[in-house]
Amino acid sequence: MPSKKSQQANVLEWIKIETPHCIRTLETASRHFDRNDALDVHTLEAMYGMESSFGQNRGKRNSVGAAGDFQMEPDTAREMGLHVSKRVDERFDFKASSTAAAKYLKTLDKQFRKKTPLSGDLNTTAVENAEERKKFSIAAYNAGAARIAKAQKLAFQVGDDPTKWADVKKYLEKYVASKDKVNEIRQYVDKVSSYEREFKKK
């Protein structure tokens, strides 16, 4: 995980080049959140910072098909209302992808706000605390809600608290293909949370 000094430097450098259009776009997209959420425009800024490396990688695609400003996979992007085809891919439209990312985060927040069926007999465990729930939503953005719900289930079965990210993240290994991916999920939550705190200070 980057040092606190390097995190601050990343945020400061980004703020220098962040255009009024970019800020307005993220603020508009964040209106999909509500007062019951811990999610806000700073969460979205932090997510964009992570997914685009603060604007440096916005045109890139990764090996599993995620692409665009918020690195959304095609199916997820379409579910959030984006047009994704060989000719037109709105994941690379900053306004459209910001809105889709906010809608997806909001969807994930709702899934962890109450017990939600995902597939078969798999359900999320409700996380009442909004700040804690935000960590689950951020983790699910990276890993998918099903993996996080499975880890919640295992945490409960062994007597840990399925509503505390610190407990649940210990049980990701069983449901994720590689240790590298497990570390990525854990670091993703930590980095986004850290960047968000830095944005709130500015």
The tens digit of pLDDT for each residue in 88-113 reads 999 999 999 999 999 999 999 999 99
- CA Rg value for the chain: 16
Please state, in angstroms and rounded to a whole number, the distance separating the CA atoms of residues 86 and 71. Answer: 16
**Nearest-angstrom CA–CA distance, 183 and 76:** 23
Ranges under pLDDT 70 in the chain: 1-19, 55-64
Provide φ and ψ at 88, rounded to 5°.
Answer: -130, 125
Q: What is the pLDDT of residues 13-41, one digit of tens each?
A: 666 666 677 889 999 999 999 988 899 99
The CA distance from 18 to 3, in Å, is 22
Contacts of 9 (CB under 8 A, 6+ apart): none
CA distances from 187 to 73, 120, 162, 182, 190 (A): 20, 29, 19, 9, 5
- Judge residue 29's burial from the number of C-beta atoms within 10 Å of its C-beta, 0-12 exposed, 13-18 middle, 19 or more buried: buried
